[in-house]
Structure 1
Amino acid sequence: MLKDLKTESSQAVLPLPKFCASALEERRYLQELERRIAGDAWQQAPGEDLIFSERHGGMIEPRGFSRTFDALVKRAGLRRITVRLARHTCGTLLAFLKVHPKVAQAILRHSQISMTMDIYTHVVDDDQREAAALLADLLEDPLLG
Structure 2
Amino acid sequence: MRASRAHRLYAACVLVLVLGLRRSEVLGLRRQDIDFEARHFTLVEQVQRVKGVGLVLKDLKTESSQAVLPLPEFCARALEERRELQELERKIAGEHWSQEPDHDLIFSSERGGMIDPVGFSRTFDPLVKAAGVRRITVRLARHTCGTLLAFLKVHPKVAQAILRHSRISMTMDVYTHVVGDDERDAVALLAELLEDPLIG
Which position in structure 2 is the counterpart of 1:133? none
> How far did 1:77 drift?
4.1
Which position in structure 2 is the counterpart of 1:52? 107
Instruction: Considering fraction of residues, name the structure with more helix.
Output: 1
Relative to the length of structure 2, the TM-score reads: 0.58
In structure 2, how many angstroms separate the alpha carbons of the residues matched to 1:22 and 1:76? Answer: 21
RMSD after superposition: 1.5
Change (3 A) 1:96 1:59: same
Which position in structure 1 is the counterpart of 2:168? 113
Runs of 4+ in 1 over 6 A off after TM superposition: none
2:113 paired with 1:62: no
Partner of 2:110, secondary structure, is coil
Aligned residues: 124
Gaps of 5+ in 1: 125-145
Matched-pair contact (CA < 8 Å) for 1:95–1:123? no
Q: Relative contact order (alpha carbons < 8 A, sep ≥ 6): 1 or 2 greater?
A: 2
Instruction: Considering fraction of residues, name the structure with more strand.
Output: 2
- Percent of aligned pairs with the same amino acid: 83
Change (3 A) 1:64 1:104: same
Which amino acid in the other structure matches residue 84 of structure 2? Y
Between structure 1 and structure 2, the one with the greater Rg is 1
Partner of 2:57, secondary structure, is coil
2:101 paired with 1:42: no
Q: Which of residues 53, 56, 70 in structure 2 aligns to 1:15?
A: 70
> How far did 1:76 drift?
4.1
Relative to the length of structure 1, the TM-score reads: 0.79
In structure 2, how many angstroms separate the alpha carbons of the residues matched to 1:26 and 1:78? Answer: 26
2:155 paired with 1:100: yes
Which position in structure 2 is the counterpart of 1:32? 87
Greater Cα offset, 28-37 or 39-48: 39-48
Matched-pair contact (CA < 8 Å) for 2:64–2:165? no
